[in-house]
Structure 1
Amino acid sequence: MSSSTRVAVVTGGSRGIGRQAALRLATDGIAVAVGYGGNQAQAEAVVAAVTGAGGRAIAVRADVADETAVAALFDAAEASFGGVDVVVHAAGVMTLAPVAEFDLDALDRMHRTNVRGTFVVNQQAARRLRRGGAIINFSTSIIGLALPGYAGYAATKGAVEALTLILARELRGRDVTVNAVAPGPTATDLFLDGKDEETVARMAAQPPLERLGTPEDIAEVVAFLAGPGRWVNGQVVRANGGIT
């Protein structure tokens, strides 16, 4: 491989926004390590789509909260492609319930993936990214909307935003940017699960653009931050169609 080839690790890369981000980065000539938690077939389908279009990709299973597994994911990217330049941390889970009724075991599971997982992935990224690199985390526009039922999920993403802003400053002198993308309502399985048609329609009507976002919409923001958006650093980009 050319020494100028850029390499991305994309967690949650087998479905939803992570999948689309991996496909979008590949169109820019970036080699992609698709990290996935459990669905090997979906991850391999992403790899097949990338390689079928002339790109380079591998699939690696990794629990994002397991530091050994995440280190192995980065090892695989480095062994296959020569290094890591971009990290897109799209893996996440969402459980919804009012605070008074929230199952605390479910809260712990969500914290393990969304908070610890983000910290573990960012820790490896901070240690390994080459100069000119980019770390892209995921928050949510729900933090601004403050919708009932989302307190547990929004709290985990508030932690992601804090980590993102501080890590950007800790990497002073490294020429590595650290940002978070905060999507609004986006048509993914994670968002649509458990919602009836009326709820989806109501949320789709809220932005001035009067539609749900798509994974492709969010992937374009990721591609900008991973490539030309070098002067955007330590920011939370609210990609939500103007909903807030």
Structure 2
Amino acid sequence: MPNGLFDLTGRRALVTGSSQGIGQALARGLAEAGAEVVLNGRDAEKLAAAAEALGARSLAFDVTDYDAARTAVDAFEAAHGAIDILVNNAGMQYRAPLEDFPEEAFQRLLQTNIASVFNVGQAVARHMIGRGRGKIINIASVQTALARPSIAPYTATKGAVGNLTKGMATDWAKHGLQVNAIAPGYFDTPLNAALVADPAFSAWLEKRTPAGRWGRVEELVGACVFLASEASSFVNGHVLYVDGGITASL
């Protein structure tokens, strides 16, 4: 790699919601690029199994709990040292017609998809600011730019992640932080299991996406390593769509 621009050796990365799916794939990719990885999740047993498989540390806390996130991050930094890279990946989906959408599900989406980015982002950034450097990568979505039936509240949360990313960059770039987002298109993950299993939806998706297929989670790793590395030292407040061209094409 030229000049080691993409080398993460000596860096430590915390990836939220990394017991499975996209979070786990990104954690593995960061580790392969040289980073020491810290996995996060709420299910301690599932988290421990994922951490053992990856040879990573684990840090179990609820990202929707502001005090728990700050306490966990502060304690980890005091005990183990700097978190150089944060990937805010934790998220959830809920599908229902908007006119029947349960209020409780709407509130859970707000807390899991938006508040978690603020909670963990602020907790980690306070330490990064003191060091004058840091990388924060928020996981947005193709729904940051587009909508589909039955997921309007999810779409709202991912639009907010895109704008919160811009706001974080605007406030924290002067302190040496780069804050960007990755917006995945349609990937074969546990979150999309119902859609993957639906032949009609898969056929529609293959027609709608210029690349003609579902994405593979490993195809998000390159974008994550780029945004976590020195290669992106002047990239800030950007939302990088990794979507097979779906947002580029009518």
The whole-number CA distance in structure 2 between the counterparts of 1:197 and 1:120 is 38
Report the CA distance shift for 1:189/1:20 in structure 2 as closer, same or farther (over 3 A). same
Percent of pairs identical after alignment? 37
Post-superposition offset of 1:76: 4.9
Is the CA contact (8 Å cut-off) linking 2:144 and 2:162 kept in structure 1?
Answer: no
Q: Residue 79 of structure 1: CA displacement? A: 4.4
CA deviations over 1:23-46 (Å, ceiling 9, x no partner): 1111122111111122x3432233
Q: Is the 8 A contact 2:143 2:158 kept in 1?
A: no
Q: State yes or no: 1:50 paired with 2:51.
A: no
Mapping of residues 133-144 of structure 1, within 5 Å: 133-144=134-145
The answer to whether the 8 Å contact 2:38/2:59 transfers is yes
Shift of 1:214: 1.5
Q: Which runs of no fewer than 5 residues in structure 1 stay unpaired?
A: 52-56
Runs (4+) of structure 1 exceeding 6 A deviation are none
TM score, norm. by length of structure 1: 0.89
Are 1:161 and 2:166 an aligned pair? no
Distance 2:194 2:36 in 1: 31
Query: Number of residues paired by the alignment?
Result: 235
Unaligned runs of 5+ in 2: 1-8
Q: What is the rounded CA distance, in whole Å, between the counterparts of 2:121 and 2:61 in structure 1?
A: 14
Q: Contact 1:136 / 1:179 at 8 angstroms: preserved in 2?
A: yes
- Note the C-alpha offset of 1:167: 0.9
Is 2:152 the counterpart of 1:151? yes
Kindly state the Cα deviation for residue 75 of structure 1 after the two structures are TM-superposed.
3.3
2:237 corresponds to which residue?
234
Match of 1:171 in 2: 172
Normalized per residue, the structure richer in helix is 2
CA distance in 1, matches of 2:243, 2:60: 30
In structure 2, C-alpha distance between the alignment counterparts of 1:21 and 1:80, rounded to whole Å: 24
What is the aligned partner in structure 2 of residue 54 from structure 1?
A: none
For residues 118 and 79 of structure 1, the distance between their equivalents in structure 2, rounded to whole angstroms, comes to: 22
Name the structure 2 match of 1:64. 63
Q: Which amino acid aligns with 1:100?
A: E
Q: CA deviation at 1:158?
A: 1.2
Normalised to the residue count of structure 2, the TM-score between the two structures is 0.87
> Does structure 1 retain, via aligned residues, the 8 Å contact 2:146–2:155?
no
Contact 2:179 2:236 in 1 (8 A): yes
Q: Deviations over 1:77-113 (max 9, x none)?
A: 4245411110001000111122111111110111111
Contact 1:94–1:110 at 8 Å: present in 2 too? Answer: yes
Q: Alignment partner of 1:237: what SS? A: strand
Pairing partner for 1:36 from 41, 44, 67? 41
* Change in CA separation of 1:143 and 1:161 when aligned onto 2, cut-off 3 Å: closer
**1:112-123 mapped onto 2 (5 Å cutoff):** 112-123=111-122
Per-residue CA distance 1:128-176 (angstroms, 9 max, x = gap):
2243311011111123332111211010111111111011010132111
Partner of 2:184: 183
